[in-house]
Amino acid sequence: MKHRHYQLHTPGLLLALVLLSAPAAFGASDSAIKPPPPETKAERDARMQWWREARLGMFVHWGLYSAAAGNWDGKPYGGGVEWIQQQAGVAPTEYEAKLKPLFVPKPGFAKDWAKLAKAMGAKYVVFTSKHHEGFALHDSKYTSFDAKDFVGRDLFKEIVQAIRAEGLRVGVYHSVIDWHHPDFRVHGTGLPHPLANERYKDLPDPDTGREWSRYVEFLHHQSNEITRNYGKIDVLWWDWSSKETEGNSWRANELMALVRKNQPAIIMNNRLFYSPNVEGDNLSIFDTSKGDFTTPEQHIPATGMNGVDWESCMTLNDTWGYSDHDFHWKSAETLIRNTVDIASKGGNYLINAGPTADGTIPEAIRTRFLELGSWMAKYGEAIYDTQANPIGAVDWGRITARKGRLYLHVFNWPANNQITLPSKSSGSLNAWMMADSRRAPLLCSETGTGVTITLKPQYENPYASVVVLEGARW
């Protein structure tokens, strides 16, 4: 029997007693869950290998906010409208009542997502199992604010199965912020909350009676459910922490140990901990005790950093969640060149899609993802499983490397059809246009400033032309 809204009131005490008696039963007593023994570098490299080789993923923000489509009470909102509840200052009961009838996922939506991710050249999909609004796509026994109670379907299961069916890796975005939970504090957390909105300022303190530890218990329970009840989960994408509320505020080490117990090979980001300046260059402050990779957002670092695993996540327009009035779309050229730029710095690119309430991915996103996909179909070898540019920046494009080969990505086609790169040959240079299936050799000459290669214009690609170079020394 499911509990109306939230477990853990008086029954909580009873539960706590049960937990103390049976520590391994639930996540709750995860203080008993000891972190796994430290990994050797070789073990970590083995666990991270698929992710480092993947280079490209699809992010999906989908929830009740998708049904609001960026509007509330007829007023359009800008920016990340997955925050519409906070932007409009809507109380949980009103939010739920208004959006429940509008959230009607169509059959097979998840298959469309997975097929598009595959066609786009993504190797993994990270979808929002729960965003800040608190609505859970999985069938949770700790709340009725979930898909099972709303639409009678376990949407989490449908999505995970569809992603696996396309041979892609499964990533789960899980918000540690929860605007629906009665114990998640409104004030003093350094985190946003709809009830902190001006319109409630004259009302009694909304934090009276809220028990933070009960919320954290709930967070651990749901994290246990999504990493225990749906088979292999490859990535856990937590979001997000402030200076005031991070780490121990979530009992983060226990939470990560719990998830690792359920999913020993899982890869987790670093957002259970405060990460200053996510929209800036912050690779240098990253340490793996806080997660496996760092997460620049809406930003591509100027350079990568040896030994630092990072993934740049980005919207296609200006919002993560669906908006029916945000048409500020990035071009396919920008997507392709970002993919190249990020790979040339040793990072992964996680590009977002915000489906509509019924799960449909807007045409503007589909066409751009498919355009990226057809470029990846031709030039993916120059992106997947490559390393960062080992020889230094060039003004005509970007460089990736793998197994003794350099992949020269020409963005700005030179007027004289020649590019020069700051490298020396290790004896014989061999270069060809990647689009030339006969691999006809290009003229290469070594000059004082490096190696000069004469390109073949008939193989130019409007987004990024790729030259394969063997024999260069770096």
Q: How far is the CB of 83 from ligand FHN (least distance, A)?
A: 6
Report in angstroms how near the CB of residue 82 gets to ligand FHN at its nearest. Answer: 5
User: In the structure encoding, which two tokens stand for residue 73, read together?
Assistant: 């009470």
3-state secondary structure (DSSP) of residue 302: coil
Residue from 239, 246, 292, 326 in contact with ligand FHN (CB under 6 A): 239
Sign of CA dihedral 394, 397, 400, 401: negative
- Return the number of the residue (192 or 380) whose C-beta is nearest ligand FHN: 192
Determine the Cα–Cα distance for residues 154 and 136; give it in Å rounded to an integer.
Answer: 10
29 versus 319: smaller Cβ distance to ligand FHN: 319
What x-and-dash track marks residues 273-292 binding ligand FHN by CB under 6 A? -----x--------------
Cα separation, 246 vs 42, in Å, equals 29
Omega into 51 within 30° of 0, i.e. cis? no
Give the shortest CB-357-to-ligand FHN separation in angstroms. Answer: 17
Are 305 and 287 within 8 A, CB to CB? no
| Alpha helices per DSSP H over 328-468 | 332-343, 363-379
For residues 202 and 279, which CB has a smaller minimum distance to ligand FHN in the complex?
279
- Closer by beta carbon to ligand FHN, 237 or else 407: 237
Q: Out of 30, 82, 254, 311, name the contact with ligand FHN by CB under 6 A.
A: 82
Choose between 85 and 263: whose C-beta lies nearer to ligand FHN.
Answer: 85
Among 178, 234, 297, 341, binds ligand FHN (CB under 6 A): 297
Q: Which of 57, 63, 80, 471 binds ligand FHN (CB under 6 A)?
A: 80
Distance, C-alpha 182 to centroid of its chain = 27
Q: Does 234 bind ligand FHN (CB under 6 A)?
A: no
CA distances from 424 to 203, 386, 449, 471 (A): 71, 20, 9, 9
User: Which of 146, 63, 163 is CA-nearest to residue 110?
Assistant: 163
Min. distance of Cβ 262 from ligand FHN in angstroms?
A: 23
Q: How many residues bind ligand FHN (CB under 6 A)?
A: 9
The answer to whether 158 contacts ligand FHN (rule: CB under 6 A) is no
CB of 320 to ligand FHN, least distance (A): 4
What is the rounded (10 degree) CA torsion for 152, 158, 160, 163? -160
Q: How many CB atoms lie within 10 A of CB 361?
A: 21
Query: Do residues 387 and 376 make contact, with C-beta atoms less than 8 angstroms apart?
Result: no
Q: Contact region for ligand FHN (CB under 6 A) — 75-83, 224-232, 365-373, 423-431? A: 75-83
Residues 298-327 interacting with ligand FHN (rule: CB under 6 A): 313, 320
Q: Which range touches ligand FHN (CB under 6 A), out of 63-71, 78-86, 114-122, 407-415?
A: 78-86
170 touches 163 (CB < 8 A): yes
354 binds ligand FHN (CB under 6 A): no
Judged by CB, which is closer to ligand FHN: 30, or 239?
Answer: 239
Give the other-Cβ count within 10 Å of 415's Cβ. 6
Q: Rounded to a whole number, what is the largest CA-CA distance in the chain?
A: 79
Burial (CB count <10 Å: 0-12, 13-18, 19+), residue 153 = middle
Which residue, 83 or 156, has its beta carbon nearer to ligand FHN? 83
CB closer to ligand FHN, 29 vs 241: 241
Does residue 217 bind ligand FHN (CB under 6 A)?
no
CB of 237 to ligand FHN, least distance (A): 8
In Å, what is the CA distance from 102 to each residue of 46, 69, 325?
44, 10, 18
Residue ranges that bind ligand FHN, judged by CB under 6 A: 80, 82-83, 239-240, 278, 297, 313, 320
